[in-house]
């Protein structure tokens, strides 16, 4: 069984079309067909059911695909490890992040890092909070930026980089828009615009309101922070957002106001796997992040 055969098989299995797979692989269709036939002959089973020009996996083919994808992941990981041990300054950092850190934090730290290590490349993965934790645990990525930082998850190592406040975001026509600061209780009667259930930012806001004696009445939900901002801008409700999401992108017809009673905060940091070592280039970036934010914020 050759590596090329496995690569051809995976591409055909994903596309369920020999010609499309050949185009993606930049080889002749006959070459792909021949490799698949040879592979099936070597294994002694049919991996595909042929239906005219279309093909689909047999049950044993689906099992084989799952195992081969795992094998290719191991091979790719080994290749990355070798390359990075040969030269950490030319390695790859795979990093995940949520939407709340995408606009300001991530570009800032990558730009600062690349000034010192210009040949390092990045693979970026934007995901939801829970998916980022799961992705680090599974090994699809090795570093994820998160806010708040999960301190109870035993399968990852958590590192807090800084604390930040959540601000009230109001329409500029709101009766409280001219206030210098607000108590959370001032918003008790307002309709809130929050992330859907299951999103961590909703939990942060919800918990803060409940601890202050009320449950927010949710009028609209938005998965994307920019969508939430837009709904506030239209005067459809109020929200609380991390300060970092409002640094460079305060929407028109809105005002941000600090909350002074109580202080609503979240931790921001990163997670890495607990059961495996970071590759040299990723270790370089991990240590850079810690130093960068300690110098910037003084957080220890």
Based on the fold, state whether residues 182 and 254 are members of the same structural domain: yes
Based on the fold, state whether residues 23 and 46 are members of the same structural domain: yes
Tens digits of residue pLDDT in 66-123: 999 888 888 887 777 777 677 888 888 999 999 889 888 999 999 999 999 999 999 9
Q: Does pLDDT of 208 surpass 60? A: yes
Q: Write a three-state SS string for the chain.
A: CCHHHHHHHHHHHHHCEHHHHHHHHCCCHHHHHHHHHHHHHHHCCCCEEEECCEEEECHHHHHHHHHHHHHHHHHHHHHHHHHHHHCHHHCEEEEEECHHHCCCHHHHHHHHHHHHCCCCEEEEEECCHHHHHHHHHHCCCCEEEECCCCCCCCCEEEEEEEEEEEEEEEECCCCCCCCCCEEHHHHCCCEEEECCCCCHHHHHHHHHHHHCCCCCEEEEECCCHHHHHHHHHCCCCEEEEEHHHHCCCCCCCEEEEEEEECCCEEEEEEEEECCCCCCHHHHHHHHHHHHHHHHHHCCC
pLDDT of residue 53: 67
β-partners of residue 255 are: 170
Give the range of the structural domain holding residue 281, as residue numbers without chain letter: 88-161+267-297
Average pLDDT over residues 263-277: 93
pLDDT of residue 263: 85
Q: How many structural domains are present in the chain?
A: 3
CATH code of the domain covering residue 174: 3.40.190.290
Average pLDDT over residues 131-152: 94
pLDDT of residue 288: 96
Based on the fold, state whether residues 275 and 142 are members of the same structural domain: yes
Buried b (16+ CB within 10 A) or exposed e, 33-52: bebbeebbeeeeeebbeeee
Average pLDDT over residues 190-198: 94
CATH code of the domain covering residue 62: 1.10.10.10
Cα 176 vs. chain centroid, distance in angstroms? Answer: 35
pTM above 0.85, yes or no: no
Domain closes at, from 85, 109, 128? 85
Based on the fold, state whether residues 212 and 261 are members of the same structural domain: yes
Domain closes at, from 49, 67, 85? 85
Based on the fold, state whether residues 20 and 31 are members of the same structural domain: yes
């Amino acid at each position: 069984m050759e590596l090329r055969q496995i690569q051809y098989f995976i591409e055909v299995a994903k596309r369920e079309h020999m010609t499309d797979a050949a185009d993606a692989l930049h080889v002749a269709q006959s070459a792909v067909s021949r490799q698949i036939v040879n592979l099936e002959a070597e294994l002694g089973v049919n991996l595909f059911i042929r239906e005219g020009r279309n093909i689909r996996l047999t049950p044993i083919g689906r099992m084989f695909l799952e195992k081969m994808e795992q094998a290719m992941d191991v091979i790719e990981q080994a290749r990355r490890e070798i390359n990075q041990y040969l030269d950490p300054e030319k390695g790859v950092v795979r990093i995940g992040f949520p939407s709340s850190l995408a606009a300001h934090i991530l570009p800032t730290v990558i730009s600062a890092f690349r000034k010192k290590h210009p040949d390092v490349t990045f693979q970026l993965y934007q995901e939801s909070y829970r998916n980022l934790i799961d992705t680090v645990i599974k090994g699809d990525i090795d570093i994820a930026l998160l806010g708040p930082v999960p301190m109870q998850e035993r399968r990852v190592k958590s590192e807090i980089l800084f604390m930040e406040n959540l601000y009230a975001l109001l329409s500029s026509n709101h009766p409280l828009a001219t206030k210098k600061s607000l108590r959370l209780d001032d918003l008790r009667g307002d309709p809130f615009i929050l992330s859907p259930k299951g999103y961590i930012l909703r939990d942060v806001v919800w918990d803060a309101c409940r601890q202050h004696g009320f449950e927010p009445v949710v009028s609209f939900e938005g998965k994307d922070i920019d969508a939430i901002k837009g709904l506030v801008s239209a005067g459809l409700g109020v929200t609380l957002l991390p300060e970092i999401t409002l640094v460079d992108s305060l929407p028109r017809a809105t005002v941000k106001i600090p909350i002074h009673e109580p202080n609503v905060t979240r931790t921001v940091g990163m997670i890495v796997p607990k059961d495996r070592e970071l590759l040299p280039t990723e270790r370089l970036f991990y240590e850079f992040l810690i130093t960068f934010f300690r110098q910037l914020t003084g957080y220890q």
